[in-house]
Amino acid sequence: MDPAFWHQKWHNGELGFHLPQVHPLLQRYLVELSLKAGQTLFLPLCGKTLDIGYLLEQGYSVIGAELSGKAVTDLFASLNRQPEISPWQGGNRYRQGDLTVFQGDIFLLTPDDLPAVDAIYDRAALIALPDTLRARYARHLQTLTHRTRQLLITLEYDQQQMAGPPFSVDQEEVETRYGEHYRVTSLSRKMILDHEPVFREKGLSALYENAFLLD
């Protein structure tokens, strides 16, 4: 997507992708990542998700990447944290204690920029990108993180019924993007359309939420 699209969404407060609570699938399946206290998770295209506060409360460190500067400042404000801000080649790095967020273009982030991470939590990154970018993103993410294990959440629906974002990503596509180097395990697949009236109004006849473990 054109970066201007997402900057405009944040500027206009069009945040339908921002959940007002910690994601239930993160709470249910975080244990699948077999993390120890103090280990680090990477959250690509993290926005100002409440999932970050939850992970910090569980004793983990978090590194995020997010295009929108407003999202990052809102995130730190919501956590009552005053970050140190320093430049990197793609934007600004916000850091305070066990939380670091790289604001800017994730595709400019390199393995040298990113400290070692122990797992990835992707709730809204892969499905935010059109098909033309998802293959590039998946390759880049694996390079950045040295193919560390991943908890991936996707949405699945008939793409002809809605243009997206969020875009539809089913298990077959996850296998295509990641199967060469990961074992892909389906943790859950649940119909959620009855709880998402906005998507029904947009014309969807079915909407599934999927959780995958990549290890």
Dihedrals phi, psi of 46, to nearest 5 degrees: -80, -20
Q: Is-contact 114 35, C-beta < 8 A?
A: no
Q: What is the band of 20 on the pLDDT scale with cuts at 50, 70, 90? A: confident
- CA 172-19-92 angle, to 5 degrees, is 90
Nearest CA-CA partner of 177 in 160, 154, 158, 159 = 154
Sign of CA dihedral 149, 155, 156, 158: negative
**Residue-number span of the structural domain to which 186 is assigned:** 3-214
Query: Does residue 14 sit in helix, strand or coil?
Result: coil
For residue 88, is pLDDT > 60?
yes
Query: 180 pLDDT exceeds 60?
Result: yes
Q: Which residue has the higher pLDDT, 201 or 1?
A: 201
What are the pLDDT digits (tens) for 45-74?
Answer: 999 999 999 999 999 999 999 999 999 999
Can you give the C-alpha Rg of the chain in angstroms? 16
Q: What is the CATH number of the domain that holds 188?
A: 3.40.50.150
Q: DSSP label at 168?
A: B
pLDDT tens column, 26-52: 999 999 999 999 999 999 999 999 999
Whether the CB-CB separation of 27 and 54 falls below 8 Å is answered with yes
Q: Based on the structure, what is the number of domains in the chain?
A: 1
The pLDDT tens digits for 115-137 are 999 999 999 999 999 999 999 99
Q: What does DSSP assign to residue 116? A: P
Q: What is the mean pLDDT of residues 184-207?
A: 96
